[in-house]
C-alpha cells in the first residue's frame, strides 16, 4: 500500500536514507509516527526522548515525587518502567512498581514472575496487590464481560496501593493506539469526553499519568526487544481480540496517511470536551473505600459471588508481605 498522494503529509522524513541521530545508513527503523528514521542502535534513545517530551509537555511528574508504575508483565508497561527508571536520577523523581496479581492461574503466575525479574534487574521496589487477598475471583458480573470487571478491579486496586504507599501518581502503559481506540469507542457510544494523558488526583485517587501516549504499539515492542527486557508475549486467555480490531484500521490509516494517527488524536483531543467533574466519591457501603459507583468493584464481586452474605468484606486491605 502506498501513501495517499493527496494527503497533506509533512515531509516524509522517516523515508530518509540515514539515521537522524548518527547518520548511519544501515539497519534503519522506520516508524512513521516518530517522523524520522533511526538506526536500531539509536532507537532506544529516540524512544526515551519521545517519552520524556510527553512527560514534560503534560507536566506529568515533579522533582522528588514518587511514582508507582503499573506493570502487568506486558511489553508496554515494561518499556514504561525501564524508561521512567532511566530518567529517574536526572529528574530526581523516584520510581516504584506495582503489579496487580489477578489470580487467574498459570497466566497470572507467569506475569508475576516476569515482573519480578524486570524490577529486580532495575533495582526497583515492587508492590504486589493480589486480588485473592480480597477474597474475590474475577468473574463476569451481570452484563459486564470479564475483561471490564478485570479492568475495574485493577483500577480499584491500583488506587488503593497508590494511596497506601503515598505515591504522587500512578503511571500506566497506555500507548497512542490505546488512546485513539479509547477515543473512538467513546465517540461511538456518543460520549464527548476525551481520555486525557493526565488525570489529576484527589483524596481518593492518586494522579494518573500515561507517559506512552505519544508512542505507537509497534515502538514499545521494538524497545523491549532492543533493550532485552523480560515480558510476557502470550495474551491473557480472557483477552477478546475483537475488542482491539479497530487498531487494524488505525494501522491502515497510518500507512495510507503517515502521521495521521497522532494528528487525529490531537484534533479529537481539542474537539472532545473535558469530562465534567464528577461529584466527590462516596464511601462504599461495604468496605468504606471511596468509589464513584455506589458499591466498589471489589465488593460488587464479593456480593455477586455470595448474594446472601452482605456483611463487611473479609479484609479491607490485603496483608503486608
Ligand atoms: Zn543512529
Ligand atoms: Zn467496597
Residue that has been written with the C-alpha cell 458480573 in this structure: 141
Give the pLDDT band (50/70/90) at residue 235.
confident
CB 217 within 8 A of CB 33: no
**Nearest ligand, measured from the Cα of 28:** 1
How far is the centre of ligand 1, averaged over its atoms, from the C-alpha of 40 (Å)?
7
Residue that has been written with the C-alpha cell 536514507 in this structure: 17
How far is the centre of ligand 1, averaged over its atoms, from the C-alpha of 61 (Å)?
29
Q: Tell me how far apart the alpha carbons of residues 250 and 245 are, in angstroms, rounded to a whole number.
A: 9
**Nearest ligand, measured from the Cα of 19:** 1
Quick one: how far is CA 123 from the chain centroid?
21
How far is the centre of ligand 2, averaged over its atoms, from the C-alpha of 24 (Å)?
57
Mean pLDDT of 147-161: 86
How far is the centre of ligand 2, averaged over its atoms, from the C-alpha of 299 (Å)?
4
How far is the centre of ligand 1, averaged over its atoms, from the C-alpha of 224 (Å)?
18
How far is the centre of ligand 2, averaged over its atoms, from the C-alpha of 296 (Å)?
4
SS3 87: helix
Residue that has been written with the C-alpha cell 488512546 in this structure: 179
Q: Tell me how far apart the alpha carbons of residues 291 and 295 are, in angstroms, rounded to a whole number.
A: 7
SS3 35: coil
- Looking at residue 46, its pLDDT comes to 96
How far is the centre of ligand 2, averaged over its atoms, from the C-alpha of 136 (Å)?
12
How high is the mean pLDDT of the chain? Answer: 87
Residue that has been written with the C-alpha cell 482491539 in this structure: 244
Q: What is the DSSP letter of 89?
A: H
Q: Tell me how far apart the alpha carbons of residues 172 and 175 are, in angstroms, rounded to a whole number.
A: 9
**Nearest ligand, measured from the Cα of 159:** 2
Which residues are CB-contacts of 221 (< 8 A; sequence separation ≥ 6)? 75
Q: How many residues does the chain have?
A: 321
**Nearest ligand, measured from the Cα of 27:** 1
Q: Is the dihedral of CA 73, 155, 316, 93 positive or negative?
A: positive
- Looking at residue 313, its pLDDT comes to 44
**Nearest ligand, measured from the Cα of 289:** 2
Q: What pLDDT digit, counting tens, does each position of 98-140 carry?
A: 999 988 888 899 999 999 999 999 999 999 999 888 877 777 6
Q: Tell me how far apart the alpha carbons of residues 156 and 198 are, in angstroms, rounded to a whole number.
A: 17
**Nearest ligand, measured from the Cα of 310:** 2
How far is the centre of ligand 2, averaged over its atoms, from the C-alpha of 128 (Å)?
19
How far is the centre of ligand 2, averaged over its atoms, from the C-alpha of 218 (Å)?
38
SS3 127: strand
Please state whether beta strands 28-29 and 38-39 pair in parallel, antiparallel, or not at all (unpaired): antiparallel
Q: What pLDDT digit, counting tens, does each position of 40-68 carry?
A: 999 999 999 999 999 999 999 999 999 99
How far is the centre of ligand 1, averaged over its atoms, from the C-alpha of 59 (Å)?
29
How far is the centre of ligand 1, averaged over its atoms, from the C-alpha of 31 (Å)?
14
The per-residue b/e assignment along 56-66, b for 16 or more CB within 10 angstroms, e otherwise, is: eebebbeeeeb
In the structure, ligand 2 is a single-atom ion and the residues with CB under 5 Å from it are 284, 286-287, 296, 299
Give the pLDDT band (50/70/90) at residue 291.
confident
Mean pLDDT of 23-47: 93
How far is the centre of ligand 1, averaged over its atoms, from the C-alpha of 34 (Å)?
14
- What stretch of H or E contains 101? strand 94-101
Q: What pLDDT digit, counting tens, does each position of 162-215 carry?
A: 999 999 999 999 999 999 999 999 899 888 888 899 999 888 889 999 999 999
Amino acid at each position: 500500500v502506498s501513501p495517499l498522494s493527496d494527503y497533506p503529509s509533512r515531509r516524509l522524513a522517516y523515508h530518509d536514507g540515514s539515521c537522524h541521530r548518527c547518520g548511519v545508513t544501515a539497519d534503519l527503523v522506520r516508524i512513521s509516527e516518530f517522523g524520522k528514521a533511526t538506526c536500531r542502535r539509536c532507537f532506544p534513545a529516540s524512544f526515551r526522548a519521545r517519552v520524556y517530551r510527553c512527560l514534560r509537555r503534560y507536566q506529568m511528574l515533579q522533582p522528588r515525587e514518587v511514582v508507582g508504575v503499573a506493570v502487568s508483565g506486558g511489553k508496554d508497561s515494561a518499556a514504561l518502567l525501564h524508561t521512567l527508571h532511566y530518567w529517574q536520577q536526572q529528574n530526581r523523581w523516584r520510581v516504584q512498581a506495582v503489579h496487580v496479581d489477578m489470580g487467574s492461574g498459570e497466566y497470572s503466575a507467569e506475569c508475576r514472575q516476569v515482573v519480578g525479574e524486570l524490577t529486580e534487574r532495575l533495582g526497583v521496589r515492587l508492590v504486589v496487590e493480589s486480588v485473592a487477598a480480597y477474597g474475590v475471583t474475577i468473574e463476569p458480573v451481570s452484563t459486564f464481560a470479564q475483561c471490564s470487571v478485570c479492568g475495574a478491579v485493577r483500577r480499584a486496586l491500583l488506587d488503593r496501593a497508590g494511596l497506601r504507599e503515598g505515591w504522587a501518581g500512578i503511571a500506566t502503559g497506555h500507548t497512542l493506539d490505546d488512546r485513539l481506540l479509547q477515543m473512538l469507542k467513546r465517540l461511538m457510544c456518543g460520549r464527548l469526553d476525551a481520555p486525557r494523558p493526565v488525570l489529576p488526583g484527589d483524596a481518593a485517587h492518586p494522579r494518573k499519568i500515561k507517559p506512552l501516549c505519544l508512542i505507537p504499539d509497534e515502538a514499545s515492542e521494538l524497545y523491549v526487544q532492543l533493550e532485552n527486557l523480560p515480558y510476557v508475549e502470550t495474551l491473557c486467555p480472557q483477552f477478546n481480540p475483537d475488542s482491539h480490531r479497530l487498531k487494524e484500521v488505525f494501522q491502515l490509516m497510518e500507512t495510507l496517511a503517515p502521521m495521521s494517527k497522532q494528528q487525529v488524536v490531537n484534533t479529537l483531543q481539542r474537539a472532545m470536551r473535558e469530562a465534567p467533574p464528577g461529584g466527590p466519591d462516596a464511601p462504599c457501603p461495604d468496605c468504606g473505600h471511596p468509589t464513584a459507583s455506589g458499591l466498589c468493584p471489589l465488593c460488587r464481586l464479593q456480593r455477586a459471588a455470595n448474594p446472601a452474605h452482605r456483611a463487611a468484606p473479609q479484609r479491607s486491605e490485603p496483608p503486608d508481605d
